[in-house]
Structure 1
Amino acid sequence: MKFSRRRIEEPEINLIPFIDVLLVVLIFLMLSTTYSRFTELQINLPAADAEKLRDRPSEVIVAVAGDGRYSINRKAVDGRSVEALTAELSAAAGGRPETVVIISADALAAHQAVINVLDAARRAGLSRLTFAAQGGNGR
């Protein structure tokens, strides 16, 4: 009796079709990718120049007390409503939309009191706003 042994071929992975598919996927990704540039923050920093100090636009200083009372240019505002603030801001600005509104709020003032000042400035047509802050060392 003669037993014949067949030689078992080991399976082999053919890498050529795999490489072809990867190259096609790579080309597709390269062609379909959109490259976007991240937007940068554009800010204009103020400069301390004595000559430009004379050309500064008018300012309206709005103080917000810790208990929610308002004063505009050191004059107390009657009432705490947005409508009263709007009327006082319009009168203090004198119809000049380039007027800068400086909000000086107490550290204990409610956020809503400051939001009311922002809303009143928007209603009065004053879009240039800034906040006053005390320096880090108490000065």
Structure 2
Amino acid sequence: MSLSSARRKRRKLKSEINVVPYIDVMLVLLIIFMVTAPLLTLSIDVELPSSNAKALESKQDPIVVTVDSRGQMALQLPEGKPEAMDRAALQAQMAALVSQDKDVRVVVAADRSVPYEKVIDAMDALKRAKVEKVGLLTDAGGNAR
């Protein structure tokens, strides 16, 4: 009898997880993220420089998409004159050219005073037309600022 009563008095194992350390870690991470989040949204005004890089040699001249200071787009084929068009027409024309030649090269040329958003709009139209090789045209021989 004494043996069975000794077994009854033993402590039973707890099958619970102690979550207090996890809560402490979570609160520390929360404070770290609350402090660093406002620092990530700072913006800096940047004036993009000209490039001194040499032009790539290619057998085929690229197609040039020009964005002027008013944000209007124009398409210039290798042996043609610039043709002004809106975004939808540019996308349709480029999709037709890509369907003929998937390796067509396109460069985007923009005036220095063009808002960055307009250049990205032109590049987005090219991406939607499935153009794979897109470059940016810079002023050769300029000084980086």
Q: Which runs of 5+ in 2 are unaligned?
A: 1-52
1:68 aligns with 2:74: no
Give per-residue Cα distances to partners, 1:83-126, cap 9 Å, x unaligned: 22211222444531211111111101111111111111111111
Cα distance between partner residues in 2 of 1:133 and 1:46: 11
Q: Is 1:133–2:138 an aligned residue pair?
A: yes
Q: Quick check: 2:98–2:130 contact (8 Å CA) kept in 1?
A: no
After TM superposition, the structure 1 = structure 2 runs for residues 13-32 of structure 1, keeping only pairs within 5 Å, are none
Number of residue pairs the alignment of both structures matches:
87
Look up the SS of the partner of 2:85 in the other structure. Answer: coil
Partner of 1:113: 118
Deviation at 1:62, TM superposition (A): 0.5
Q: 1:94 to 1:132 in 2, by over 3 A?
A: same
Cα distance between partner residues in 2 of 1:76 and 1:47: 24
TM-score normalised per structure 1: 0.52
Q: Distance in 1 between matches of 2:131 and 2:68?
A: 21
Partner of 2:107: 102
TM-aligned CA deviation for residue 59 of structure 1:
1.9
Q: Which amino acid aligns with 1:113?
A: K
* Normalised TM-score (structure 2): 0.50
Distance 1:71 1:92, change over 3 A: farther
What letter is aligned with 2:133? R
3-state SS of paired residue (1:77): strand
Report deviation, 1:46: 7.8
- Inter-CA distance 48–70: structure 2 relative to 1 (3 Å threshold): closer
In 1, the alpha carbon distance for the partners of 2:128 and 2:118 equals 15
Considering fraction of residues, name the structure with more helix. Answer: 2
Percent of residue pairs bearing the same amino acid type: 23
Amino acid at match of 1:128: K
- Structure 1: segments with no counterpart, 5+ residues: 1-44
